[in-house]
Chain A
Amino acid sequence: MTENSSPGTRPLLHMDGIRKTFGPVVALDGVDLTVGRNEVHGLLGGNGAGKTTLMNVLYGLYRADEGTVTLDGREVVVREPRDAISHGIGMVHQNFLQVDTYTVTENIVLGTEQPSWPSMDLKGQAERIAELSTRFGLSVDPLATVADLSVGLRQRVEILKALYRGAKVLVLDEPTTNLTPQEVDSLFGSLRAIVDEGMSVVFITHKIRETMAVCDTLTVMRDGRRVGTVARRGTTPTELAGLMVGDDAMVSRVTEVVTAGMAAPVGRALKADAYAAGNIAPERVVVSGLVAHNDHGVPAVDLSLAVRGGEIVGIAGVAGNGQVELAEALAGVRATAAGSVSLDGRDLAGSPTATWLDSGVAYVPEDRHRDGILPSESIVENLVLGAQRGRRFRSGPFVDWRRARQHAETSIRAFSIKTPSASTPAAQLSGGNIQRIILARAFSHEPGFLILHNPTRGLDIPSTQFVYDRTRDAATSGTAVLLVSEDLDELTNLCDRILVVYSGRIVGERRRGEYDQYELGHLMAGLEESA
């Protein structure tokens, strides 16, 4: 563990001995963090390591059980976000906290003091925001309604919220999740501009590549503890990977997750030669002229594609380009306006969702809690969900709960679900275990077509590796797999073919061996293929 702080300069932010528990779960176990002036400080760790929790404590969304926070030499008490804001701490969360119906200006000034007599006039504030946005390379129209903006622009609004309030410390939580590589570069440029003007940035991420690109100092967290702080120049990706994972034996096993996006994919053998040998398996899933509408009735998807048995096809794109509608349409959850979706020769378009499930379509949704589980019900019930009319759990008009329970016990073992018992309500489990339940449900019926949407979002490293392994297992056993993901590293690691989607249309296709993240980013941004 190497410490890096130039002697004589007082650090801007110092968090000391922070401890936070949620009931019996210890999320932070006496964590220290020191952020210097004018620096981009990376907070690196897998999901569940405690990075976001630590910053939520700093920002006042959580209250620590123990520990102190010192800002600019003075100890501060932060009990509410309002305190954090007044002390100059700003936070950009992973999921943007914006009121969709408000304009950019309204979202930015929300919560600040504004004169309201005889009525509130935000024209002056809009001008101030425009000036801020040009200064830091974050241009956005102050009068636009936020709901009409792209993800990248909405993120600028989030950052401007902090800058408008005169933040001294800006915390960004996984800010690159929904950005194209080009947008990421633009963001990093803005961060440097922000730091040059005298602020410091805390950059939370689980991607080693990003920290190496933009951070000056890195702090690695694991299991709620700080395990190391290094200067960027003085470390290597391997060292960081080791710190993130801890157990050396595990490092090689979860290598691909941790070193995602590094120069060469490690681990799994390339299948490029299999492709060159000429399309071994027949097409199992054929999507032809599929048109699906979004929730406002506007067409969001218009494409055709095919997936062979044993193939993992990826859908790359920036969030908001029809991925949700595509995944749901292919899962039979969203009605199709036109076109056909055939699995093993049978066209399912227009059939009720239950028919899709019976035909062998399995769907792992992006929003686990909202779409994937019954939170108040036990694991047993959650595994029966979707299969209650099938032969496995049904005897006559009744559910065979004994058989269901046996199935649950088996699944818990097979999928390593960490739970007190099969009767535990699903809501009490961690994100990784909830995803295991969803996978157990998807796999228990030997699906012909498996659709995964951002399946590893928010999962810790072992769970992420688990998902990757199971996905490959499915492919090996002949399932047609479609992986819709906004994580290019994940896609380039797992997929045999990647289709780039923009505005609901396929704008490019690349095979394994041809993957270039910048090229994919180019396509994802809707730019034409260069000749």
Chain B
Amino acid sequence: MNEVTSFLQLVVTAMVPFILAAQGTMIAGRAGVFNVAQEGLMMLGASVGFLVSLTFGGNLVGLVVAGLGGGLFGWFLGWVTTRFRLDQFVIGLALFFAAAGLASLLYKVVIGVTLKPPLIPTLDDLSIPGLSAIPLVGPVLFQQSAMVYFAFLVSGGLYWLLYKTNHGLKLRSVGENPKAADSLGVNVARTRIWCSAAGGALMALAGAYLPMTYTGTYTEGMVAGRGWLAIALAFFGGWRPQYILAGSAFFAGMEVLALRVQVGGLDVPHQFISMLPYVATLLVMMFALRWARIPAFLGRNYDRESRTSH
């Protein structure tokens, strides 16, 4: 019994970066902005979150600053593609490289090369009284760090925003038919820019979470492709927050499983285990796209005075 509980607990903990990065991808994507810089923004978030926490002695500050930094990158993507109509993928790739480069540059400048890498305190578990006593489910869901609850709340909040509010109606219309939205007075540019900024912020938070969990250190390769997997998760969840939340369990599950198998000493070379999440993701994507409803204008820029857009 305990084995299962601790496994599930680990899975929920591991779900957070996937949830945040994928929801960030989703919210920008529903407005039509396809941000492909997640990996770089997560690296930047991890680096900035770590360094700020280290400097100011508190995780919250690190998270906030990281979020703002990611928001800035997201804002830039939205602004440049809306104002100048440059290709979203090209700008996204450029931002990925820039953010990744900045992440290592900042670490090098602040920390330099040391034999003993510094540590920051990891996030404490926040037990919800009463609920956490429920057998099996209790400790899994209600004895987690604040960021876990945050991730769940964000998902719920996005669902409410998109489907239960007027803002959400307008937001979704921008991603489905921007010309229709524009003709009815919806501010397409502003919607795209804000959603892209919010998306960037969530992506950076996903990254900042990493050094604050598990070990409390920052290492160069710690994001390990989760940013790219978040793109897959956005598709897998049909670009809807509730299914992204559910689907993140699969990705987190694979990650934890891979770790367990390595430690458990199965007679498979560890390199193949480490490949597992990526291969499994590709396999899953083969079927996922059949039901994914992609926003019609995802990745496409909108030009009001264009002669060709109907």
Contact = CB atoms under 8 A, between A and B. Distances in A.
Given A62-B305, A116-B165, A81 B183 contact: yes
Interface size class of B (residues with CB under 8 A): 20 to 34
Nearest to B174: A99
A116 to B, nearest CB: 4
Interface in A65-124: 80-82, 85, 91, 93, 95, 97-102, 106-107, 109-111, 113-116, 118-120
24 contacts: A62-B305, A80-B185, A81-B183, A91-B183, A93-B183, A97-B179, A97-B180, A98-B177, A99-B180, A99-B181, A100-B177, A101-B176, A101-B293, A102-B169, A102-B173, A109-B169, A110-B169, A110-B170, A110-B184, A110-B186, A111-B170, A111-B184, A116-B165, A116-B167
A99 B170 contact: no
B116 interface: no
Given A95-B310, A99-B176, A99-B177, A85 B165 contact: no
Interface of B: 160, 164-167, 169-170, 172-173, 176-177, 179-186, 293, 296, 304-305, 308, 310
A161 interface: yes
A101 B296 CA distance: 10
Interface residues on A, range: 20 to 34
Given A97-B180, A109-B169, 19 more contacts: A59-B183, A61-B304, A61-B305, A81-B183, A85-B184, A98-B180, A99-B176, A99-B177, A100-B177, A100-B296, A107-B180, A110-B181, A110-B184, A116-B165, A116-B166, A116-B167, A118-B164, A120-B165, A370-B308
Given A97-B177, A119-B160, A106 B169 contact: yes
A93 B183 CA distance: 10
A369 interface: yes
A445 to B, nearest CB: 27
Nearest to A375: B308
A369 B308 contact: yes
Contacts of B166: 113-116, 120
Given A116-B165, A120-B169, A61 B180 contact: no
B185 to A, nearest CB: 3
B164 A116 contact: yes
Nearest to A119: B164
Interface of A: 22, 59, 61-62, 80-82, 85, 91, 93, 95, 97-102, 106-107, 109-111, 113-116, 118-120, 161, 369-370, 375, 427
A109 B186 CA distance: 11
Contacts of A427: 308
A111 B191 CA distance: 12
B308 A111 contact: no
6 A-B pairs with the lowest CB-CB distances in the bound complex, closest first: A82-B185, A111-B184, A97-B180, A119-B164, A116-B165, A95-B310
B164 A120 contact: yes
Contacts of B181: 99, 110-111
Nearest to B172: A99
Contacts of A118: 164
A115 B169 CA distance: 12
